[in-house]
Structure 1
Amino acid sequence: MLRYTLMRLGIFAGSLVVVWGLVYSGLAPRGLGDSNGLWVVLLALVVSAPISFVVLRKERDRASERIVQRVDRMKANLQANREQEDTADDAARAQGQTS
């Protein structure tokens, strides 16, 4: 997951540099008044999102598989704990009835 996040940040940083270059060279609009910095960041976000979606598809799939495995493992552990509690509770009740 960290790898995917870092790759995504890298794509955003690259987009930010390209957009900044385009805005300051006059090839892209500068924004309104003092909003130039915010404009560059927002434009870089808009440009980097579809690039990340296409380029990082395999990495995103790997990360989601790892998350699913973790969730399944946690569910199995929780179920094992519940079964252990049920067994202990049944044993305590049985012992209480025989006394």
Structure 2
Amino acid sequence: MLRYTLMRLGIFAGCFLVVWGLVATGIAPRGLGDSNYLWILLLALVLSAPISFVVLRGQRDRASEQIVARVQRAKDGFEASRSQEDLADDAARAHGQTS
């Protein structure tokens, strides 16, 4: 998961540098007034999202599988804990009725 996040951040940083270069050279338009860096940030976000979606598809799928496995382990742990509590409760009730 950390690897995917770092790769995504790297793609964004690359897009930011490219957009900054395009705006600095006048190829891409500047923002309005003092909003130049916000404009560059927004353009970089818009460009990096589809690039990340396509380029990091395999990495994203692996990260998703890790998350699903982690959630399933947590669910299994909760179910095991709940069944132990049910067994203990049933045993306590059975012991209380026979006395």
Q: How high is the TM-score relative to the length of structure 1?
A: 0.98
> Could you say what secondary structure the match of 1:28 adopts?
coil
Match of 1:52 in 2: 52
Q: Shift of the alpha carbon at 1:31?
A: 1.2
CA–CA distance in structure 2, aligned partners of residues 86 and 23 of structure 1:
65
Displacement over 6 Å in runs of 4+: none
5+ residue gaps in structure 2? none
CA–CA distance in structure 2, aligned partners of residues 58 and 36 of structure 1:
34
Q: Deviations over 1:44-68 (max 9, x none)?
A: 0001000000000000000000000
5+ residue gaps in structure 1? none
Match of 1:94 in 2: 94
Match of 2:34 in 1: 34
Cα root mean square deviation, aligned: 0.5
Q: How high is the TM-score relative to the length of structure 2?
A: 0.98
Aligned residues: 99
